Amino acid sequence: MSTQAKIENRIKHIQKGIPFSIDRFYEAGSKASVQQSFSRLAKKGAIARVGRGIYCRPKPLKSIPSIKTVASAEDVAHLWARQNRYKLVAQGQEEAYKLGLQTQAPIIKLYWTNGPSREFIVGKQRVKVVHVNNELLSWGNAPEGRLLRALSVFQNYELPAEKLKIAFSRLKISNSEGKQLLCKLTNRFHKNNVLPNLNL
């Protein structure tokens, strides 16, 4: 079976609209032949390039099948992080908004990472990934991690208990669990000026 046939056979089993890396296909032939096969498939419209070495199968809109969509810039950023084993989490402003600590949503979609800073653009979508101190990535998307990043936005302010209770509610934890969580964060980070004054 030719390299082209091997690649086409594998790609047709990949879900449409989901990004994938060309790196997964280099075992099908030489690097040059695999890249040529991808180039041909892209010209035919069977796949679309959505990032450096990242592709997807276009997905028709349910309402207008003639219009096809591709993977989002966020999906591409997450794939990049997974294949490079980087941590990737929502930035502090985003978490503060989602947890009810502030009312204004961030204008720019931005993630924090322990990898290099990058920007992902797919069509009109733009996602920024910014390298930050590893401390701010602690606990990932667990309640501790989300609250830590949200609170890091308010380093020079004092947060009232009412605001914190809203955050606990959105994290689906009780007030007592929330206070225990805050004590955990304070013991680890308060001396590093990561957290604001907490009015418990």
- Comparing 45-54, 63-72, 108-117, the range with the smallest average pLDDT is 63-72
173-184 pLDDT, tens digit per residue, is 999 999 999 888
Q: pLDDT at position 193, please?
A: 60
Greater model confidence, 116 or 191: 116
199 has pLDDT over 60: no
Q: pLDDT at position 116, please?
A: 98
- Comparing 2-11, 58-67, 118-127, the range with the smallest average pLDDT is 58-67
Q: pLDDT at position 176, please?
A: 93
- Cα separation of 15 and 20, whole Å? 10
- Cα separation of 145 and 151, whole Å? 10
9-34 pLDDT, tens digit per residue, is 999 999 999 999 999 999 999 999 99
Percent of the chain predicted with pLDDT > 90: 78
Q: pLDDT at position 190, please?
A: 63
Torsion angle (degrees, nearest 10) of CA 73, 77, 82, 84? 140
- Cα separation of 72 and 162, whole Å? 36
- Cα separation of 57 and 69, whole Å? 9
Do residues 120 and 80 lie in contact, with contact meaning Cβ atoms separated by under 8 Å?
Answer: yes
In the chain the domains, ranked by start, together with CATH numbers, are 3-69 (1.10.10.10), 73-198 (no CATH)
148 has pLDDT over 90: yes
Do residues 143 and 161 lie in contact, with contact meaning Cβ atoms separated by under 8 Å?
Answer: no
194 has pLDDT over 70: no
Do residues 52 and 35 lie in contact, with contact meaning Cβ atoms separated by under 8 Å?
Answer: no
Which residues 6+ apart lie within 8 Å of 64 measured at CB? none
Q: pLDDT at position 147, please?
A: 95
Its pTM stands at 0.85
> What is the CB neighbour count within 10 angstroms for residue 120?
24
Mean pLDDT for 66-70 is: 84
44 has pLDDT over 60: yes
Q: pLDDT at position 132, please?
A: 96
